[in-house]
Amino acid sequence: MTARTLYDKLWDSHVVDVAPDGTALIYIDRHLVHEVTSPQAFEGLKIAGRKPWRVASVLATPDHNVPTTGRDQGIADPVSRLQVATLDANCREFGLTEFRMDDARQGIVHVIGPEQGFTQPGMTLVCGDSHTSTHGAFAALAFGIGTSEVEHVLATQCLWQKKSRSMLVKVEGELGRGVTAKDIVLALIGRIGTAGGTGYAIEFGGSAIRALSMEGRMTICNMAIEAGARAGMVAVDEHTVDYLHGRPYAPRGALWDQAVAYWRSLRSDEGARFDTVVELPAAGIRPQVTWGTSPEMVVPVDGRVPDPAEAPDAVKRGDWERALQYMGLKPHTPVSEIPVDKVFIGSCTNSRIEDLREAAAVAKGRRVAAGVKLALVVPGSGLVKHQAEAEGLDKIFKEAGFEWREPGCSMCLAMNDDRLEPGERCASTSNRNFEGRQGQGGRTHLVSPAMAAAAAVFGHFVDVRDVQ
């Protein structure tokens, strides 16, 4: 038999039928649902008189609109409140499992799926959310879909898909001290661009990836979409199996053994061919900071804001000029001289326990700088929050002057009250620095959790390697 990639294996095992032009009908094992991209899908089902195909495949939670303070008061914004209430009503009507806003297990969909063991190797998993790529860290084929497809999966348990090309991103070697999974993926996007992965499913491999925890792998797969790839994935190893053991939705007993035996086959075969291979040596990666309005506009923390005059082509030059203007930055400014107004530690990229530990290690015994108006820590789920509190991380943050909040997407996209005001500059552990993403006119710099914490205590970007 020919050598197959992990992606080939995941794909082949889910094909139900193939149309003459090669478009395949693939079966979907798991479906995560949140309040923003589902109401119109449920409405469509109702209009057509259809029911969900397999109720047990769905897990729902509100995350985008939920407030991060005063939860017992409910949601103040009536439009947000209606959207969350609509999710509650739809889940009740169709008998779907939902972790509601007041459930201890509520959180960002991409945090709770893995945390519950709902996400498992060998699965296809979708969600009406582009960062569904996160779940590929478990050797699952996981990707974001639009609302029409949410309805389609609810109604049929399947999707029509064209197979992507395959890309291997190989990160060999050891990461330097203070360099994290976030820096790997930002450096990758800086290298291949936000469209570099378009049309590809990316497998991340190499010794630096194998050395990462599941949290780190999730951070990397999470941002595969920012490189243009719909899906990112990592092969199964001991980290994967250990992480899943004993989780609420993980199989038990004989089924666990049977599952683990299968999971261990979920890796690219020796000699499997990829359409593209990108090598990114781990040793050369430094802590990264984005300077512009696209994740590819990124430089190492000891670098400078680039000069549009040095852009590779005219379209890029225009983009850089516009980005610098929006960001209120001058070419050649050292990154370490950029001050911040707000700091956000959270989002499906970096709100897991390991992320909070890394940030707390920097915050410990220090104070948020006087010029910083707000430093927010928003855990990814109620269970992450609980764990962090058990470890005393909340105390460290609060003593340092950070605010410790309830779980949700929060200032990653500012659909709730957590947002930037026009012109405010933020060090953020989220994944998108688009114009207006964190609030109209807001300026976002993407960094790792440790770098965000360091920016909070110094009031400007600093090389976390000098601080730790």
Partner 1 sequence: MKPFVRHEGLVAPLDRANVDTDAIIPKQFLKSIKRTGFGPNAFDEWRYLDRGEPGQDCSRRPLNPDFVLNQARYRGASILLARENFGCGSSREHAPWALEDYGFRALIAPSYADIFYNNCFKNGILPIVLPAPVVDQLFRETEASPGYALTVDLEAQTVATPNGEAFAFEVDAERRHRLLHGLDDIGITLTHVDKIRAYEARRRQETPWLFL
- What is the C-alpha separation between 37 and 147, in angstroms, rounded? 6
- 322 φψ region: left (φ > 0), alpha (ψ -120 to 50), beta (else): alpha
- From the list partner 1, ligand SF4, none, pick the one residue 421 interacts with, judged by a Cβ distance below 5 to 8 Å according to partner type: none
Of 65 and 448, nearer to partner 1 (C-beta) is: 65
**Residue 306 Cβ, how far from partner 1 at the closest point, in Å?**
16
3-state secondary structure 95-112: CCEECCCCCCCCECHHHH
Under DSSP, is residue 267 helix (H, G, I), strand (E, B) or coil? Answer: coil
Contact 336, 463 (CB under 8 A): yes
CA–CA dist 281, 174 (Å, integer): 8
* Interface map 58-87 toward partner 1 (x if CB under 8 A): ------xx-----------x-xx-xx--x-
Helix (H, G, I), strand (E, B) or coil at 342: strand
Contacts of 209 (CB under 8 A, 6+ apart): 171, 217, 220, 234
> 129 vs 108, 143, 156, 246, 438, CA distance in Å?
11, 8, 19, 27, 17
| Shorter beta-carbon distance to partner 1: residue 213 or 262 | 262
Which one of residues 14, 30, 64, 385 is an interface residue with ligand SF4 (CB under 6 A)? 64
Given CA atoms 243, 177, 457, 182 in this order, what sign does their dihedral have?
negative
Is 225 in contact with 130 (CB distance < 8 Å)? yes
Show the tokens assigned to 193: 């661009």
Establish if 448 lies at the interface with ligand SF4 (CB under 6 A): no
Write the binding mask 410 to 429 for ligand SF4: x where contact by CB under 6 A, - elsewhere: --xx----------------
Q: Which is nearer to partner 1, 123 or 278 (CB)?
A: 123
Of 88 and 172, nearer to partner 1 (C-beta) is: 88
As measured in angstroms, the least distance from the Cβ of 121 to partner 1 is 11
Please state the closest distance from residue 416 (CB atom) to partner 1, in A: 10
Closest to ligand SF4 by CB, 288 vs 416, is 416
> Within the chain, how many helices (H) and strands (E) appear?
15, 19
Q: Report which secondary-structure segment, H or E, holds 407.
A: none
Asked if 129 touches ligand SF4 (CB under 6 A), the answer is: yes
- CA 345-363-131 angle, to 5 degrees, is 20
- How far does Cα 434 stand from its chain's mean position? 15
Mark residues 71-110: x for contact with ligand SF4 by CB under 6 A, - for none: -------------------------------------x-x
Per 3-state DSSP, the chain is made up of helix, strand and coil in percentages (nearest 5) of: 40, 15, 45
Residues between 101 and 140 that touch partner 1 (CB under 8 A)? 120, 122-123, 128-130, 132
Residue count, binding to ligand SF4 (CB under 6 A): 13
| Between 129 and 463, CB nearer to ligand SF4 | 129
Q: What is the CA radius of gyration of the chain?
A: 21
Are the beta carbons of 222 and 110 closer than 8 angstroms?
Answer: yes
Segment interacting with partner 1 (CB under 8 A) among 17-25, 99-107, 367-375, 390-398:
17-25
Whether the Cβ atoms of residue 23 and residue 160 lie closer than 8 Å to each other: yes
Residue 294 binding: pick among partner 1, ligand SF4, none (C-beta 5-8 Å cut-off by kind)? partner 1
Counting contacts by CB under 6 A, is residue 457 touching ligand SF4? no
435 in contact with partner 1 (CB under 8 A): yes
CB nearer ligand SF4, residue 113 or residue 196: 113
> Under rule CB under 8 A, which residues in 337-396 are in contact with partner 1?
none
Q: Residue 293 CB, nearest distance to partner 1 (Å)?
A: 9
3-state secondary structure of 203: strand
Angle at 28 (CA atoms; ends 124, 14), nearest 5 degrees: 70
The listed partner (ligand SF4, partner 1, none) that binds 347, CB under 5 to 8 Å by sort, is ligand SF4
Residue 428 touches partner 1, criterion: CB under 8 A = no
Number of residues that bind partner 1 (CB under 8 A): 76
Q: Does 276 sit near partner 1 (CB under 8 A)? A: no
- Near ligand SF4 in 353-412, by CB under 6 A: 409, 412
By beta-carbon proximity to ligand SF4, the closer residue of 196 and 379 is 379
Q: Name the site residues for ligand SF4 (rule: CB under 6 A).
A: 63-64, 108, 110, 129, 131, 347-348, 409, 412-413, 430-431
